[in-house]
Amino acid sequence: MNRLSLTLTAALALTPIAASAHKIIAAVFPSGTQIEGEIGFSNGDMAKNVVVNVLRPDGSKIGETTTDADGFFTYTPTEETALEFRSDLGAGHVATAEMSLEDVARVMGHTVTATEAPVSQAATDAPVVAGGLTPVQVAEVADMLRDELRPLRREIAAYREKNDLQTILGGIGYIIGLFGLVFYIAARRRLQDAGKGAQ
């Protein structure tokens, strides 16, 4: 029985245990003439008042910004280049998010690719009107939508993390269950063998 106890102890010691770790959530997206982003953790905590370095593809720093109390930040691009947003959150956590050259070009109001359809001069001279709204009203509606969608994006990211964690914990539980079944069968055989030896 001592060998069984030792085997059980070794198996439990080697079984992976779920840690209270959390993933970093970092995202950037076009927001009118700016780039908006958020940094936080999968448990819902946001990275408050942290410096976000803005880097070129070669790793050189082009600028920086700071997150607000909700973990959000904005950055106005000054160069038409792909960007990486990087923030050191301490304890080995580094948040990174990237924006492609095409997205940066759109934010800056430049042509994205040469394959886009040419726009006629008459179309560029006409005032932009969508659904009877003036350009100022369209901008205000866009700002309102961005503000309303922020919490939704955060909830979706937390939901994804929760499901990932549930899958991991379910897998660990399955492995522990298999170990338990193996030890139960082994113990039962030992008892049967001990019973046959005593007869």
pTM: 0.53
* Residue 78, token pair as written in the block: 């000054």
- Nearest CA to 98 among 114, 75, 78? 75
**CATH numeric code, 21-111:** 2.60.40
Percentages (nearest 5) of helix, strand, coil residues in the chain: 45, 25, 30
Strand, helix or coil for residue 96: strand
Per-residue pLDDT of 65-103, as tens digits, reads 999 988 889 999 999 999 999 999 887 888 899 999 998
Where on the phi/psi map is residue 170: left (φ > 0), alpha (ψ -120 to 50), or beta?
alpha
Element containing residue 33 per DSSP (H, E): none
CA distance 3 to 9: 10
Please report, as a single letter, which amino acid is at residue 70: D
Q: How many CB atoms lie within 10 A of CB 55?
A: 19
Burial class, 75, CB count within 10 angstroms (exposed 0-12 / middle 13-18 / buried 19+)? buried
Per-residue pLDDT of 147-198, as tens digits, reads 677 667 666 666 666 666 677 777 788 888 888 888 888 888 888 888 777 6
